[in-house]
């Protein structure tokens, strides 16, 4: 199957929120949505980076995004961001849960959760729940949750993983956070029924700053530079990595529960339907994860 961003339908009148949109896949996603006439909110932790990204996006797209301060590793920040959006907008047509961290040294969120699961899953779970009233005001609301093929590297997830009670292994934790993304996406689809489309995507292997961020947090600058150089050699661009997200966000008639990834061996190329692991499709595990997430965040979408 071939596909390009030229096939994205006109997005006029559609309000979209993209998390992690100051660089990489989130930036590329926001850019194409703006180019196709959507009104776009870009949510980011650093206001200065958000302002710089907004200026660049405006110059490239000819349409200015709105910036929202959001730290997904702080549930109070999630609440503030949702309240700000609710005060200034009467609906939300599209939420792209894109932001994430990958393989950092052990860190905790401000609420005491392991950083990767706390940011990649719990932060987005809380954001989606708090924005659900706005999503439900839209005519055809859609939530796209960005996962990774790394969800295939783990065989389960437990409540204790939220706090790394049994020890911390950075790549295992990353895989579990990405497994949580798929479980959440599919459970949201089941619970929402016909009231919204919940879809998932993964970018394959895309060249972004994410690969170097973990070593940088650990103070390993040489390792970070090597990661970045190696990634540039073998990975597809961040713009191509955004294609599955854009496909899931804009394809007319997309079924709820769809999972989209690159077509060539799941690593690069035009987007197509992908299949999550059997663990990621386990509805009983998804129900348990949902209940743990409600307990951890204090909010529920359905």
Active site residues: 147, 174, 178
Q: Distance of CA 50 to CAs 18, 56, 100, 109, Å?
A: 12, 10, 16, 21
Distance CA 82, CA 33 (A): 21
Q: Is 55 helix (H, G, I), strand (E, B) or coil?
A: helix
The burial class, CB within 10 Å (0-12 / 13-18 / 19+), for 69 is middle
Mapped onto helix, strand or coil, the DSSP state of residue 284 is helix
List Cα–Cα distances, 90 to 14, 68, 80, 87, 134, in angstroms: 12, 16, 16, 8, 6
Strand arrangement of the beta sheet that strand 66-69 belongs to: 66-69, 39-44, 15-19, 94-97, 142-146, 197-201, 259-264, 268-273
C-alpha–C-alpha distance, residues 219 and 41, integer Å: 32
- Whether the Cβ atoms of residue 269 and residue 263 lie closer than 8 Å to each other: yes
For the chain, state the CA radius of gyration. 18
């Amino acid at each position: 199957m071939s596909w390009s961003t030229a096939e994205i339908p006109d997005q006029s009148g559609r309000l979209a929120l993209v998390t992690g949109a100051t660089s990489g896949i989130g930036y590329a996603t926001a850019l194409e949505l703006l180019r196709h006439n959507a009104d776009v909110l870009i949510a980011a932790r650093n206001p200065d980076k958000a302002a710089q990204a907004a200026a660049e996006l405006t110059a490239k797209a000819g349409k200015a995004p709105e910036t929202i301060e959001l730290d997904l590793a702080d549930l109070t920040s999630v609440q503030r961001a949702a309240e700000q959006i609710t005060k200034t907008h009467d609906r939300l047509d599209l939420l792209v849960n894109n932001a994430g961290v990958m393989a950092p040294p052990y860190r905790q969120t401000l609420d005491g959760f392991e950083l990767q699961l706390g940011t990649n899953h719990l932060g987005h779970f809380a954001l989606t729940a708090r924005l659900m009233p706005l999503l439900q005001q839209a005519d055809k609301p859609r939530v796209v949750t960005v996962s990774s093929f790394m969800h295939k590297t783990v065989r389960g997830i437990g409540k204790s993983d939220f706090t790394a009670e049994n020890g911390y292994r950075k790549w295992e934790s990353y895989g579990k956070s990405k497994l949580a993304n798929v479980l959440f996406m599919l459970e949201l689809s089941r619970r929402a029924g016909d009231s919204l489309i919940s879809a998932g995507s993964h970018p394959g292997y895309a060249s972004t700053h994410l690969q170097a961020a973990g070593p940088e947090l650990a103070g390993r600058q040489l390792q970070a530079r090597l990661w970045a150089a190696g990634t540039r050699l073998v990975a597809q661009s961040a713009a191509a990595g955004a294609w599955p997200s854009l496909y899931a966000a804009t394809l007319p008639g997309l079924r709820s529960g769809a999972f989209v990834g690159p077509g060539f061996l799941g690593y690069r190329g035009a987007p197509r339907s992908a299949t999550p692991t059997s663990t990621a499709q386990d509805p009983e595990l998804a129900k348990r994860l949902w209940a743990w997430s409600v307990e951890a965040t204090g909010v529920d979408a359905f």
